[in-house]
Structure 1
Amino acid sequence: MKKLILILLSLLIYHAGFSQRTQKPPLHGKHWMAITGKPLGATAGAMIFSQGGNAVDASCAMLAAVCTMWDVLSWGGETQALIYNPKTGKVIAINAMGIAPTGATVEFYKEKGMSYPPEFGPLAATTPGTPGGLMTMLAEFGTMSLEQVLAPAMEMAKGYPIEAQTANMIENRKDLIKQWPYSKKVFLPHLGEEREAPYAGEIFVQEDLYNTLSKLVEAEKQALAQGKSRKEAIYAAYERFYKGDIAQEIVRGTREQGGLFTMEDLAKWKVKIEEPLTINYKGIDVYKLQEWTQGPALLQSLNILENFDLKSMGYNSSNYINTIYQTMSLAFADRDFYYGDPDFAPKSPMKGLLSKEYAKERATLIKEQNDPEMGPGDPYPYQNEKNPFLHLLEKRKNAMAYYQPEQPIQGPEDPFLQSFLSGTTSIQAADKEGWVVSVTPSGGWIPAAIAGNTGVGLSQRMQSFVLDENLNPFNVLQPGKRPRVTLTPSMALKDGKPFLSFAVQGGDTQDQDLLQLFLNIVEFGMTVQEATEAANIHNYQIQSSFGAHESKPGSITLNSQIPSWVRNDLEKRGYKMNFMERTSGPLNAIWFDWKHKSFWGGSSNHGEDYGIGW
């Protein structure tokens, strides 16, 4: 009897542990789901849903809130989104990436002794994209007024209790912030004291930003009073931001601090509503933005991995880790050489890059030992063309000044690692009407140069251009061009219905984390919350999109719980390992339970990301 009791107790303990496999509980909802990078941001989305808004309305409110909170982005940054429209059954792509301003040429930066545009300051700034992206999404696919969706952000701009993460980031970067007078005015309320940044919990006030947002609402109201429609009134606010007095102050304030913006740059820029790229992985249609982002690298990775039986390898076995590491090395090598703004020549060979046949060829390059010299392939034959850049591929290794195989990552504080993991935020929303939104906005992170008296922090995305065609002939800086960015929302449909909406912050690791989240659910049967917290790996053999654009072949981040026998085998295969307690990245996702007609939300335990469902 005693033995039976012990067996029953052990089973109860086992099942209790199994039922609480995640540190955060999964989210459940029947009517709507709102997830983003900060609790207050998710609350803004919930407020809009409770007022009858749809998922697009709620996403716009969350976007406005996190920009106001400086959640590793600001109002002068960039927004990119995927939207599932239940009325058409199609996925729509929103391209609200700013452009290189007039005067931003290769020669301009090289004359200043730069190998890449700088990481910070007015010369790092593309034109603001987020305001236009928000207003376009709202006008085209939302149901509410701009005044309604901006209300939470405007209340926050009047003053909200700033959280420790942002307050401490301001304090840590205050030396840079002091270079820009308008940033100093906003960020350092205790100038001259020992701590010059706000304290955690202090009411952080942004009067200039509140005035800018008020002008947008004022333009909308004036248009409505003139008999304009909801949509037309929102676009009237858009016009005021990009062509009116707001634009004039952005240009004046940016140029005063050494930037290059002109009124024409802002006036000519437009948000683009695009067709996303897609591939099918084992019956699931996966959607990403076009090649001005790194998104297609995830699609390429899935095409390559279809050639392997991942499930039989076992989750995070050494064979599995070796396979996905080298797969990412191959896909991202193509990203680093072939991706760029499709509006400019040359045009990336995306048909070849996303072909299943090309993926089979790339899959044959994956070996038992890691190859630190894996480079881009030649996709042109797979679209019946001849590669015009074979000569550059041959020269490419010599041009890679960032190639440093003998310098492994030194630990969590390694500057290379900090740059590589540079964050942003992500937004996920869904509603019972069928609208689904996945957004990865960014730009204007602290330390940001603020554009005059607007409260608008400028983007730092210029640094993602290259100034040497040997590195990537498709992503060479030109005025009016969009840089190839890391920002990469994701969506998947199964049987023509939403299956998974997912996004993450984290610079060049974004599509690495998103790939593993997808595989965790599809191949290993994890719930969405389990998948957001799972022990991912990170690959640094790819070229960083930031700073000095370095690469560290063979370097890999593993979760601290990876067992010794896996570590030993990976070391034999040529990997240089470092370890972290949490390696999932701040993943946010919504999984659609069509059997029960409900939503499952997942929000990683990695950071401050938070969700609310109803």
Structure 2
Amino acid sequence: MEQHRGIVVAKRGLVAASQPLAAAAGLKMLMDGGSFADAAIATSAVLCVTEPHASHLGGDAFLIVYEAATSKTYAFNGSGKAPQAATAEHFGRAIPTRGIRSVAVPGLVDVWHEFHQRWGRLSLSKVLEPAISYADQGYPVGFRTARVFRDSQALWQEFPATLRALTGQDHPPQAGQTIRQPALAKTLALIADTGREAFYEGALAEAIVRFCQAQGGLLSYEDLANHRTWIGEPISTSYRGHTVHGQPPVSQGLLLLEELNLVEGFDLSQMGPLSADAIHVMVEAKKLAFADRARFLGDPDFVSVSVEKLLDKEYAAQRRGEIRMERASVPQSHSELAHDTTYFCVMDADGNAVSFIQSVFWGYGSGLVVEDTGILLNNRLSGFSLDSKSPNFLQPGKRPLHTLNAWLITRPTPSGERVTYVGGTPGADWQVQTSLQVICNLLDFGMNPQQALEAPRWAHGPSVPENGPANLLQIESRVDMTVIEALRRRGHEVAPIGPWAHGSACQLIACDDQTGALLGASDPRCDGEAVGF
């Protein structure tokens, strides 16, 4: 398999992220004696400064954490709930996709707090120092970030104050231009000094609520003060001698595990990577899993989600019988969820690891920055349904269904389960499809970590609702045309796209079985890097 980037090999720690400055900040924490948690929080905070379209303090986060000393794996659900004032009756026919009434409770800062409390080694002030510096002194805008700023002109016409808050000017910045965010620097410094209290109960909470209520928003002080990150066991399934750990609902990480259970019954290695048979099987598995999302997935505090049944191998065998090798199925109806998201992963010399994904939902979230704080607010409420029959029906205090999911793979050893791969990707509804392909590239087709990310990709359906027909199968043009024609003969609506045009941008860390070395890979479809020492 063709490979353009080298694999980063390290022994004492490795960070892979979509933004080089963020990866470097995480690496600095490791080199200064910090833990994997310190490195992850530093990376997360710098991403909020340097990639505001994808994630921010006013957004959410999900983590899969592996603790080497105990061989235990944990799931963090840092998604925010709907405000107590958010009811279906309040919204009537539709929830706005932008603006103050689209805002749910932000969860990211509480994730930092909980993660740091458990595994942090350095002070929070030290960990947030790089992000504070980039916000205060300025950071050079990356090419991808500049393009997203430039492509969001319609948003800036509606929310010009947000562009000024993020850039200090009235027009999108150019790549390489240094921009400062002094208000955000002060906010980060306050969090560094006082932790979550400032954000959820103190001065920042008061500023957020005052801003929201002045514009007719729904967030209250009690909504913020009552927020807590959910921490528990991940869900998992076995695949090719490994255990794949994913996010439980409200994340749709369940769909990735369903897809793996479905394709497990086929000999993909015999079919070959990027063959018509292999692509067909994976696309059909995706359709079946997404049909289950529409029927079953929602906040388990409000609806019954039978995770055990959906991940049962017998259930997978039953559903697998619906896959016809000679013909593409018509997908059952499901609604796509929009996105803008960023993913990164960290692993240290002791084998501790975190798979970390954070988001503000749509690009630049609600489109609103809280005055004098630099905090960009999410638009996560728009991820709810107003159909009372949907498991994702809007209710006060309920978490919306999330595309956000991170994964981590372990294998059994005489001393317990040990991490073999840590990975994930942004990409909304493409996330679980992309992760399926990456995992199969690793475990079925024997690719190395960088090859697994660089291999040509497909995506079924749009990543966001407005981006195309629900049954469109987009395939990067590096896939042989004979394969594309074979898929068309089976009934797939194939549309070739640019050779590297697939929107997801993965990051991956592997642990070499024989040497214990850490192997880092970063997707060339973004500006990211893997760095280690």
**Do the two structures share a fold, i.e. TM-score over 0.5?**
yes
Query: Which of these residues, 164, 170, 173, is aligned with residue 143 of structure 2?
Result: 164
Q: How does 1:401-440 map to 2 (within 5 A)?
A: 422-440=339-357
Q: Give 1:201 shift.
A: 2.2
Query: Which of these residues, 332, 343, 347, is aligned with residue 304 of structure 2?
Result: 347
Q: State the TM-score, normalized to the length of structure 1.
A: 0.82
State whether structure 2 residue 405 is matched by structure 1 residue 488.
yes
Task: Rate the CA distance shift 1:476–1:531 in 2: closer, same or farther, 3 A.
Answer: same
What residue identity is the alignment partner of 1:337? R
What is the match of residue 41 of structure 1? 22
- Contact 2:167-2:180 within 8 A present in 1 as well: no
What is the match of residue 611 of structure 1? 530
| Larger Rg belongs to | 1
Q: How does 1:288-303 map to 2 (within 5 A)?
A: 288-303=246-261
- Contact 2:421-2:508 within 8 A present in 1 as well: yes
What is the match of residue 41 of structure 2? 60
How big is each residue's C-alpha offset from its partner over 1:392-412, in whole Å with a ceiling of 9 and x where there is no partner?
xxxxx6xx7x7xxxxxxxxxx
- Contact 1:532-1:584 within 8 A present in 2 as well: no
What is the match of residue 422 of structure 2? 501
Give the whole-Å Cα distance in 2 for the aligned partners of 1:200 and 1:148: 28
Q: State the TM-score, normalized to the length of structure 2.
A: 0.94
Task: Rate the CA distance shift 1:95–1:364 in 2: closer, same or farther, 3 A.
Answer: same
- Contact 2:142-2:175 within 8 A present in 1 as well: yes
What residue identity is the alignment partner of 2:143? A
What is the match of residue 90 of structure 2? 108
Query: Which of these residues, 80, 105, 116, is aligned with residue 62 of structure 2?
Result: 80
What is the match of residue 307 of structure 1? 265
Give the whole-Å Cα distance in 2 for the aligned partners of 1:584 and 1:456: 26
- Contact 2:244-2:410 within 8 A present in 1 as well: yes
Query: Which of these residues, 582, 585, 595, is aligned with residue 514 of structure 2?
Result: 595
Q: Give 1:53 shift.
A: 0.8
What is the match of residue 323 of structure 2? 366
- Contact 1:83-1:92 within 8 A present in 2 as well: yes
State whether structure 2 residue 364 is matched by structure 1 residue 446.
yes
- Contact 1:67-1:75 within 8 A present in 2 as well: yes
Q: Give 1:178 shift.
A: 4.6
Give the whole-Å Cα distance in 2 for the aligned partners of 1:335 and 1:530: 30
Give the whole-Å Cα distance in 1 for the aligned partners of 2:397 and 2:419: 35
Give the whole-Å Cα distance in 1 for the aligned partners of 2:142 and 2:175: 5
- Contact 1:104-1:479 within 8 A present in 2 as well: yes
How big is each residue's C-alpha offset from its partner over 1:212-253, in whole Å with a ceiling of 9 and x where there is no partner?
11212332xxxxxxxxxxxxxxxxx21221011110001111
- Any unmatched runs of 5+ in structure 1? 1-17, 220-236, 376-396, 403-418
Q: Give 1:62 shift.
A: 0.1
Give the whole-Å Cα distance in 2 for the aligned partners of 1:427 and 1:105: 34
Bigger shift: residues 439-448 or 590-599: 439-448
What residue identity is the alignment partner of 1:303? N
- Contact 2:474-2:494 within 8 A present in 1 as well: yes
* SS of residue in 2 equivalent to 1:607: coil
Query: Which of these residues, 102, 108, 133, is aligned with residue 124 of structure 1?
Result: 102
Task: Rate the CA distance shift 1:551–1:369 in 2: closer, same or farther, 3 A.
Answer: farther
* SS of residue in 1 equivalent to 2:315: helix
What is the match of residue 539 of structure 1? 460
Query: Which of these residues, 186, 195, 219, is aligned with residue 211 of structure 1?
Result: 186
- Contact 1:424-1:443 within 8 A present in 2 as well: yes
How big is each residue's C-alpha offset from its partner over 1:425-472, in whole Å with a ceiling of 9 and x where there is no partner?
1111001112101001111642631123211101122222111144xx
What is the match of residue 13 of structure 2? 32
Give the whole-Å Cα distance in 1 for the aligned partners of 2:155 and 2:47: 22
State whether structure 2 residue 384 is matched by structure 1 residue 465.
yes
Give the whole-Å Cα distance in 2 for the aligned partners of 1:450 and 1:205: 15
- Any unmatched runs of 5+ in structure 2? none
Q: Give 1:420 shift.
A: 6.9
Q: Give 1:371 shift.
A: 4.5
Task: Rate the CA distance shift 1:259–1:107 in 2: closer, same or farther, 3 A.
Answer: same
Give the whole-Å Cα distance in 1 for the aligned partners of 2:527 and 2:476: 19
Give the whole-Å Cα distance in 1 for the aligned partners of 2:328 and 2:483: 18
Give the whole-Å Cα distance in 1 for the aligned partners of 2:62 and 2:486: 40
- Contact 1:75-1:457 within 8 A present in 2 as well: yes
State whether structure 2 residue 431 is matched by structure 1 residue 510.
yes
* SS of residue in 2 equivalent to 1:486: coil
* SS of residue in 2 equivalent to 1:606: coil
What is the match of residue 176 of structure 1? 155
Task: Rate the CA distance shift 1:504–1:79 in 2: closer, same or farther, 3 A.
Answer: same
- Contact 2:340-2:364 within 8 A present in 1 as well: no
Give the whole-Å Cα distance in 2 for the aligned partners of 1:432 and 1:36: 18
- Contact 2:143-2:175 within 8 A present in 1 as well: yes
How big is each residue's C-alpha offset from its partner over 1:174-226, in whole Å with a ceiling of 9 and x where there is no partner?
442354465143135333xxxx222322221111111111212332xxxxxxx
Give the whole-Å Cα distance in 2 for the aligned partners of 1:164 and 1:364: 46
What residue identity is the alignment partner of 2:314? E
How big is each residue's C-alpha offset from its partner over 1:476-528, in whole Å with a ceiling of 9 and x where there is no partner?
11111111111110001011110110011111101111111111011111001
What is the match of residue 450 of structure 2? 529
State whether structure 2 residue 474 is matched by structure 1 residue 557.
yes
State whether structure 2 residue 175 is matched by structure 1 residue 197.
no
- Contact 2:163-2:172 within 8 A present in 1 as well: no
Give the whole-Å Cα distance in 2 for the aligned partners of 1:84 and 1:175: 42
* SS of residue in 2 equivalent to 1:586: coil
State whether structure 2 residue 485 is matched by structure 1 residue 586.
no
- Contact 2:143-2:527 within 8 A present in 1 as well: no
- Contact 1:173-1:446 within 8 A present in 2 as well: no
What residue identity is the alignment partner of 1:139? Q
Superposition RMSD on alpha carbons, in Å?
Answer: 2.0
- Contact 2:245-2:408 within 8 A present in 1 as well: yes
Task: Rate the CA distance shift 1:527–1:469 in 2: closer, same or farther, 3 A.
Answer: same
What is the match of residue 247 of structure 1? 205
What is the match of residue 222 of structure 1? none
Q: Work out the number of aligned pairs and report it.
A: 523
Give the whole-Å Cα distance in 2 for the aligned partners of 1:120 and 1:295: 26
Give the whole-Å Cα distance in 1 for the aligned partners of 2:458 and 2:155: 32
What is the match of residue 149 of structure 1? 127
Task: Rate the CA distance shift 1:273–1:279 in 2: closer, same or farther, 3 A.
Answer: same
What is the match of residue 291 of structure 2? 333
- Contact 1:439-1:489 within 8 A present in 2 as well: yes
